[in-house]
Structure 1
Amino acid sequence: MSPSHSIEIELKFDVDAGLPAPDLTGLLDGTTVSEPATYLLEATYFDTPDTLLAKNRMTLRRRTGGTDAGWHLKRPSSVPGGRKETTVEFDDADSGSTEATTAQVPAELRSQILTVIRSAALIPVATITTDRTVTNVLDADGVGLAEFCEDVVSAESLLPGGGVNRWAEWEFELTGGDTKLLKSAKSVLRAAGARDASSVSKLARAIGSQPHDDLIRALPKKATALGLVQYDLASHRDALHAWDPLAREDAYDAVHQMRVAARKIRSILTSYPGVIAPEMAGPVADELRLLGEVLGDARDREVRLESNQLLLAREDAPDDLVKALIDDEKAAHQQTLKSLRYALSTARYIQLLDDLDALISAPIPGPIAHRPARDIVSDAVGGAYDRMTKAEKKLRRYSPWSPDWVEQLHTIRKRAKALRYTAESAAPLHRKALDRAGAEAKRVQTHLGDFNDTVVNREHLAAVAANESLSSEAVFVLGRMDAHEESRGRRAVKKYRRTRQS
């Protein structure tokens, strides 16, 4: 069964056992409520022996009863006040099981938590039984807006020293309503005797709050070079972790952002070579380069597909050209995603994550590790800027639009990207001159990146045109598309030149 995804936005309250629920009719103009329904929910929660999921604000459970029986994974979401929930319904074998086992955890959910649990085992950490009464809040047309749950909970911690705990709580979850409804419900429920929940989830209350190690800490004013590097590495490591499950799902822009995170980590390691001992930093940088290549394959397909969709929208293209540029490209993109998911599930990738953690938490200091961060970043940004300007001077040796000239623009783009990432790594130090250098590099990278996209896509269009089975109409349209890409590339170069002249 394919997983389903949703964003859970809810209010949670502690209440005294037996407290009567208020009438929620009229929370907003025209709203009504359904007849209450009762369910018995039985859930087993899984985590690592040291509760890594709970420490990262995630919960994994197998639950029977109610209207959504199955496996559920909840994790933080970018939506304010929300959590992302992924549900996998039971298959035939699992639905008949009376006991939950880690062997049954769906692969779709395991992949979503791999960056957290790595090679650690999953074990049952709690069982929770809930007597639930559900009332739905409906709009004037009878469409569901929210679900109000009155829960009587019995939880047993399966961790060493754990015990049994019982309590009552209310939950109010949006199913179609908005924050205005949420605000009204909060006011009514508080007036009825509801109190702020003592825990963020049933599991947290069952096993106790788990300490969360904030990976991004404040940087001291007089930071050392090593302190700054650790701070930056932790920031981008967190981004890598966050985008990993989204990249596996092929969520919008996720592959691109994960690739950027990997590149930024590698850039820090290469931009500050004397801060962490090379025998420790070098292997991680090499593995990040390979990871970037795998992510790049998928990302390049995305960019090419998007470009061709925009180009074809302007044309009356024959079916064989649509197949070659869209249908075949989509199939190839799915293959690159399959390869990406495999790469992100290997022991080699897990080892990279472990090595990266060690690099941040227990680095081997290099010869300049304890120098002031302000001095080190000035040298690093200055060196990166010099390398970009030297590449620009070399461009003058070549005839405009010649192959060597185009290749040198590609080199300038890469140097600009390195400058941008190095300057951005110095952002915690709040030095305006370095911020300006980074902003300038970003403009160069953007314009030359657009140009490079046209170069790569024109090569692809030429390869497609070489297919002798294409219709003459398709070849004609390909010529028009190539002309549009050439024009787009020239505009991008013109913008780059204006940037450097200003």
Structure 2
Amino acid sequence: MTSTSTDTLAPGAHRAQPSSNAKTSNRSPAAPAPSAGEVVLAALHKQTKALRRAEHRVRDNDPKAVTQMRVTSRQLRSTLRGFSRILDPRATRPLVAELAWLGRQLGEENDTHATIEELRRHYDALPEELIVGPVADDARRELDQLVAQGAHTTQAALDSPRYAALRQALDRLLADPPFTERATRPAAQELPKSVAKALRKLDRRLADGQALPAGPQRDEALHEARKADKQLRHVTEIAAPAVGKPARRLARQAKKLQDLLGDYQDAVVARPLLHQLSAAAAANGRPVSTYYLVDALEQVRTDRVLQKLPHRLSSLHDKGAWLPSAAG
């Protein structure tokens, strides 16, 4: 992929020079510190290989591979967006959009599998006397239909010319990455700036969500915050080998925040499906009280997340105090 930027350079142009008074020895000289571009390009190669491995497994009807392929497509998108200081966003923006499209195609099947697991967890945890009617059988019947629909959407997407074009675009990107002039800088100096930028984006998203009243708008805003936190975690993990322990500590805190926001999003996704299952049960003359109970438990879970959120965010910022301009 050819950059439209006038300051595009090869990532290997910067190399640390040995000191003139360094002692000579029979040992091989230490490898030069990697540039920011080299670190980011290595991550893109790794993620593209993982995407293709997951694709083969999806085509072989491995249901777990759908989740892996979706996660990897999101990681690729996070790398391209999160390192916009290193990769010219004018060149990567179309590819980011196509990866988002792929994630949506995979999401229908993936979300249904996740909801099945969530409902199974609730069902197993409820006392037997609170389970009224053939809830498990009815839910399984309805969800099996959704799984079949999602699988059809996934296979149609992978067989489409649009996905073939996406694969070719990834190949062009790897062959000719659209680096900016910052790509030549040492990774340990440059990559923390991308991490700090991702943290500021997360802060904005969380502020947007927490300022809204309960309802679909807040749910969507907190979902956007979760995606921003995933991006923060991802860019931090890529930077960690060059930066060291501070980055690894920050990545662990980002993972904890991601899990917390994930609880909220799982409940948001599950509740409409519970309403759908309840309506189907009522139409068939089945009891619906168990669905109401599980729906109430999901509401409790979202409230608990909101209570824990300030503490978790504070811990994240404590571990990110080393970042340049982190307070911005």
Q: Name the counterpart of 1:246.
A: 57
Amino acid at match of 1:309: R
Kindly indicate whether residue 131 of structure 2 is the aligned counterpart of residue 316 of structure 1.
yes
Q: Which has the higher Rg, Structure 1 or Structure 2?
A: 1
Relative to 1, partners in 2 of residues 1:256 and 1:221: Cα closer, same or farther, differing over 3 Å?
A: farther
Deviation of 1:469 after TM superposition, in Å, equals 0.9
Kindly indicate whether residue 235 of structure 2 is the aligned counterpart of residue 422 of structure 1.
yes
Which of 263, 266, 272 is the aligned partner of 1:450? 263
Q: In 2, distance between residues paired with 1:369 and 1:483? A: 50
Kindly indicate whether residue 313 of structure 2 is the aligned counterpart of residue 500 of structure 1.
yes
Relative to 1, partners in 2 of residues 1:461 and 1:396: Cα closer, same or farther, differing over 3 Å?
A: closer
Q: Name the counterpart of 1:188.
A: none
Query: Is contact 2:188–2:243 with CA below 8 Å preserved after alignment?
Result: no
Q: In 2, distance between residues paired with 1:496 and 1:250? A: 38
Q: In 2, distance between residues paired with 1:492 and 1:221? A: 45
Which of 122, 131, 141 is the aligned partner of 1:327? 141
Q: In 1, distance between residues paired with 2:132 and 2:32? A: 60
Amino acid at match of 2:58: A
Q: Provide the TM-score with structure 1 as the length reference.
A: 0.51
Amino acid at match of 2:223: H
Amino acid at match of 1:356: L
Relative to 1, partners in 2 of residues 1:414 and 1:364: Cα closer, same or farther, differing over 3 Å?
A: closer
Deviation of 1:449 after TM superposition, in Å, equals 0.5
Query: Is contact 2:106–2:153 with CA below 8 Å preserved after alignment?
Result: no
Relative to 1, partners in 2 of residues 1:249 and 1:328: Cα closer, same or farther, differing over 3 Å?
A: farther
Q: In 2, distance between residues paired with 1:394 and 1:276? A: 28
Deviation of 1:387 after TM superposition, in Å, equals 1.8
The aligned length equals 280
Query: Is contact 1:243–1:257 with CA below 8 Å preserved after alignment?
Result: yes
Kindly indicate whether residue 197 of structure 2 is the aligned counterpart of residue 383 of structure 1.
yes
What per-residue deviation string (whole Å, max 9, x for no partner) do you get for residues 92-126 of structure 1? xxxxxxxxxxxxxxxxxxxxxxxxxxxxxxxxxxx
1:21-420 paired onto structure 2 within 5 Å: 221-251=32-62, 253-278=64-89, 280-313=91-124, 314=126, 316-319=131-134, 321-399=135-213, 401-420=214-233
**What is the SS of the residue equivalent to 1:253?**
helix
Deviation of 1:419 after TM superposition, in Å, equals 0.8
**What is the SS of the residue equivalent to 1:374?**
helix
Q: In 1, distance between residues paired with 2:239 and 2:84? A: 15
What per-residue deviation string (whole Å, max 9, x for no partner) do you get for residues 113-162 of structure 1? xxxxxxxxxxxxxxxxxxxxxxxxxxxxxxxxxxxxxxxxxxxxxxxxxx
Deviation of 1:495 after TM superposition, in Å, equals 4.2
Q: Name the counterpart of 1:465.
A: 278
Q: In 2, distance between residues paired with 1:463 and 1:357? A: 42
Q: In 1, distance between residues paired with 2:84 and 2:170? A: 16
Q: In 2, distance between residues paired with 1:328 and 1:386? A: 42
Query: Is contact 1:223–1:373 with CA below 8 Å preserved after alignment?
Result: yes
Relative to 1, partners in 2 of residues 1:223 and 1:336: Cα closer, same or farther, differing over 3 Å?
A: same
Q: Name the counterpart of 2:7.
A: none
Bigger RCO (CA 8 Å, 6+ sep): 2
Q: Name the counterpart of 2:6.
A: none
Q: Name the counterpart of 1:476.
A: 289
Q: Name the counterpart of 2:5.
A: none
**What is the SS of the residue equivalent to 2:87?**
coil
Q: Provide the TM-score with structure 2 as the length reference.
A: 0.76
Root-mean-square deviation (CA), in Å? 2.5
Amino acid at match of 2:202: M
What per-residue deviation string (whole Å, max 9, x for no partner) do you get for residues 322-377 of structure 1? 45421121122122112212221233322322221221122243343323323331
Query: Is contact 1:233–1:268 with CA below 8 Å preserved after alignment?
Result: yes
Amino acid at match of 1:453: D
Deviation of 1:403 after TM superposition, in Å, equals 4.8
Q: In 2, distance between residues paired with 1:263 and 1:407? A: 18
Relative to 1, partners in 2 of residues 1:491 and 1:323: Cα closer, same or farther, differing over 3 Å?
A: same
**What is the SS of the residue equivalent to 2:34?**
coil
